[in-house]
Amino acid sequence: MEWLLERFATRPGNPAFTHEGRKVSYLEVLAKVETFAAEIQTLGIKPGESVVILGDYSPEVVCLILALARNRNIIIPLSRGSVIELEAALGISGCDWFAEFDAEDIQVRIAERRVPTDNELIGSFRKTGAPGLVLFSSGSTGKPKGILHDFNRVADKFLKPRQATTAIPFLMLDHFGGINTILAITSSLGHVVTVRNRSVASICGAIQNFSVELLPTTPSFLTMLMASHSHREYDLSSLKRITYGTEVMPQTTLDRLRQAFPSVELQQTYGLSEVGVLRSQSRPDGSLWVRIGGEGFRTKVLDGILWIKSDFAMVGYLNAPSEFDAEGWFNTQDRVEVDGDYFRILGRVTDLINVGGQKVYPTEVEDVILSLDNILDVAVYGEPHALLGHTVVAKVSLAEPEDAAGLKVRIRKACIASLAAFKAPSKVIISQGPLYSSRQKKIRQKQPVSAFPPEGFGKS
């Protein structure tokens, strides 16, 4: 990590972070890293030992991560809204030291917490002498997977600096996208604006107050932004680019964004914790077609499923067999359409709804429903059915109260007009709460395996 710290030293006076209104320069970042390095030595934290960090975004949290990476530790960042319970995480990864930040993510208490592990992957990785990074994924089956990365390999993607920008790191630090965003911004000597509350109002307020230029976020958040009309209430004119990923973007939301932000570049991104974040370029016609790849990445499509080979791939799963083939290709489980060198991501195979052998992707139904009046948001999923395998269910959030029976008729009529009849929801539920998780990603009810399993889709 020395190259990154040396780069910080070339612009000591530049703002590195603004956290809750508190500005921290790159010179101060270097000083904080050195302070943590001294504490690490005093405590006796040895290279190769694993350190769990419980906290959210702040300069201090990031500086501790950098100091531990320099010390060649295995770093396990966890947020208070993590996809995995703390004890479950420790049971998978083990632990030697535990660093817990206070509610403001400024003060930290580091103490020994020995949770032994006989994990062979961690044992062999420690012998390399490289710093490690463990992240947890909810997994397609709902069982969390521990993903081990070589921290140096993750960071080396940013050896070549990009244009500096002011950005909000939207995805959390225990998410690969969160780590990727922090490294991307700081390696280019940009300005990180951290926001504790990721509500639409808080994000918009931060953009307005700190002239944020880049917002990397999720389609669910952007759908909420458009539904709330907050883009009309705040001055968001500083925005130059909005990137979106982690789930499929509804075309309806993208169309509304283009109308609301005509001078802002809207860029679809693509990445997975297992392989990293690929370079991407959205097709300029306002569609959801995207070109992905870049140096260190290769792509191919087999039976309609996207496969990726990456120089920045994980070392492996801590608690699951490898999903890479013998040649190093990873099955993303994302079904795609191909047009030349552009892809259109249709959705995860695991989100597929199988209605009597007919395939339904939730996003195609959601896109139709989102275009209707009085609909703020919608989540579509499959409900088990004895004869059909699944039926389609739509859970909707409304702007104003509406009769449930009339709403169902209205939604079914619109869906049948645009889609095959079997894709129209047979049940409509009016939601009393949000349809997205703390990570601002849509929640769809998990489905058991259908009585009519889809063919040619790889894993189920």
Q: For 289-313, what is each residue's pLDDT tens digit?
A: 999 998 999 999 999 999 999 999 9
Would you say residue 450 has pLDDT above 80? no
* Mean pLDDT on 32-38: 98
H/E stretch holding 17 = strand 15-19
User: Across residues 256-277, what is the average pLDDT?
Assistant: 94
pLDDT of residue 137: 81
Reported as a pLDDT band with limits 50, 70 and 90, residue 109 is very high
Where does the pLDDT of residue 138 fall: very low under 50, low under 70, confident under 90, or very high at 90 and above?
low
Please name the residues in contact with 191: beta carbons below 8 A apart, sequence gap of 6 or more: 14, 15, 16, 17, 18, 164, 165, 166, 167, 185, 210
Which of the listed CATH numbers 3.40.50.12780, 3.40.50.2300, 1.10.760.10, 3.10.150.10 matches domain 2-155?
3.40.50.12780
- Give the end-to-end CA distance of the chain in Å, rounded to a whole number: 39
Distances (CA, A) of 185 to 9, 149, 169, 460: 15, 20, 9, 37
Query: Structure tokens of 206?
Result: 């931060």
At 400 the pLDDT is 92
Q: State residue 448's pLDDT score.
A: 44
Beta strands in 42-94 (DSSP E): 50-54, 74-78
pLDDT band at 438 (very low <50, low <70, confident <90, very high): low
Give the mean pLDDT of 427-454: 64
C-beta separation of 336 from 344 below 8 A: yes
> What is the sign, positive or negative, of the torsion defined by CA atoms of 110, 112, 115, 119?
positive
State the pLDDT confidence band at 402, using cuts at 50, 70 and 90.
Answer: very high
Is residue 82 within 8 Å of 90, Cβ to Cβ?
Answer: no
Mean pLDDT along residues 125-151: 86
> 101 with 77: CB under 8 angstroms?
no
Domain with CATH 3.30.300.30 in the chain: 352-430
Residue spans in the chain of domains classed CATH 3.40.50.12780: 2-155
pTM: 0.85
Residue 452 is predicted with a pLDDT of: 31
Write the pLDDT tens digit of every residue in 323-336: 899 999 999 999 99
Average pLDDT, the chain: 90
175 or 338: which leads in pLDDT:
338
Q: Which CATH architecture fits 352-430?
A: 2-Layer Sandwich (3.30)
